[in-house]
Structure 1
Amino acid sequence: MVAAGVNGSSMLISSLAASRVEVRSVWAYNLDQEFALIRSALPFHPFVALDTEYPGIVVTSKNPYCTLTVTQRYDLIRANVDVLRIVQVGLTLSDAAGNLPYTLYNDGTFVRYVWEFNFRDFDIDRDRYAPSSVELLKANDIDFQKNKAYGIDSRCFAMHLMTSDLLSLGHFSIVSWVTFQGAYDFAFLVKMLNGDNKLPQTLHEFLALVRYYFGERVFDVKHLSKHCRGLYGGLEKVASTVQVERAVGCRHQSGSDSLLTWQVFYQIASRVNPELINRLEHKGVLFDLALLP
């Protein structure tokens, strides 16, 4: 390996499908070195797209979801996250021009990359899960026995996260976070950062913790898309509408999904509706719990 790059070329994120992108698979044995790489890349790549994978939804509402208040939707999220265990976390770092971190190897190979963290917390023989969700994760190459044997303890991940400069911790931060319907994503991270304790009882307390840990610049692509004519549906649907192709991996793999989330965000921000981000940021409306699944 010759260099880990921080500034990259002017390649647009929408053209990543024509470039080589790798998912850096992170386990307990390489967690330290991968967080060191993230810390070195972060000052030059302050946009962080987040995705999580978890074993489905096990607590449901008796009432139609569309009739629930925002507070009731949070209560449903809390009930699920409190009893579920994380499977994967995906992180994509980028600069404002859409460039990912890269490595230039001795043979001249130029590779951009994203991260996929694999956790040992979920035990399929012990923990609650939705069978259909677990089968879907298995079909997309998630090996639960490998995770159990070699995966990361979420408490160790949380300690690394706390010292990684990714978090705001109540102070000004250069980092902007990007998700797609990200309430579950942030709920799982808040749970980990709080020592695997239960989520706060109230929505107000939860949002306060999201702001404390992740700052004020939290962009939910699902929320942004509702302000753009013709954008609706899940991540795959929105990506197809804005003509973004998945650059690596497949759906329900957190590294791949975090990258697709970033690609869609970048496309909306730079081409579909470039004034939207500044307008919504000025209003402070970046994260919309009313759109939760």
Structure 2
Amino acid sequence: MSLIKNVDRYFWVLIIIAVALGLAFPSYIIDYERFVIIILTVIMGLLFLKVDIIEILSQIKKPSQIVYISCINLILLPFFSYFIFKFLDSELLMGFVFLAALPAGVSSAVFTDMMKGKTSLNLTIIIVTNLLSAVTIPMIFLFLFNHEAGIDYLRLIKTISFIVFVPFVIAKIMKRVIFPRIIHSLQDYFNFIIISLLSVMIMIIIAGQADFIKLNIQDHLGKIAMLFLALFIFQIVSYFSVFWLKKGEKLAVANSNMIMNNILGIVIAMECFPREVMYLLILSLIPWNAMIILKHWYKRFLP
């Protein structure tokens, strides 16, 4: 029982197992790809059950701080990436800029919660950046590449609403009106459920791209190394960009930048960008998972 309650200490083991299973047995797992968004929605609902609505509203009451953090995430980092990776060919450069321009992933709040960071701040960043990204991504590409990304805004809004707002409303009704006592009694087990679902989601995503990842892996090593560098830069820049905040809040900001919405990115890249951009987004799943594990270890050394 104590292992279940303290599973967040060993979450990295489950992630490694999930990645290994996804790569080893893709044919048995790939059929469940359609459930990824549903799993994400359930995870978000559980996070909203854990975090008090008052905490989220307290973050929104600081609009200048949220606007500043969103600008770092959605505007500064894409431009920063453009100048760092400008030596690459145009399609690869476009991929790194697109990666930096993605909004915070819903999974970032899960890991902020595990790292004892400010989850309410992370959830606020997720909501705001996902909404703003529908405007900022096309603007950035139009400015830097003179390339209008043909994003389906209606589909984007529907997806965000389904993943973020629907579980938010349901969770608050359950917590405040229907099952307040039951929800309170289950609080200690939410982390176990969340981490289990997250591991399953990662396994499914990896399985869906296993053939591409394993095919000519030697040819991808250089790109993977640059992706590690990019993710490291994203989190370090964002962490120290809010140097005046408490450590838990800085972790939330850094996680929201490093753990971006890859799934949304892959979908948009498939429909709107050159194939090389989509391949880079798929490869980003490797360092994305590895950096999460590494950060759980080295966060203790951050000020």
TM-score, normalising length: structure 1: 0.29
Q: Which has the higher contact order (CA 8 A, sep 6+)?
A: 2
TM-score, normalising length: structure 2: 0.29
Higher strand share: 1
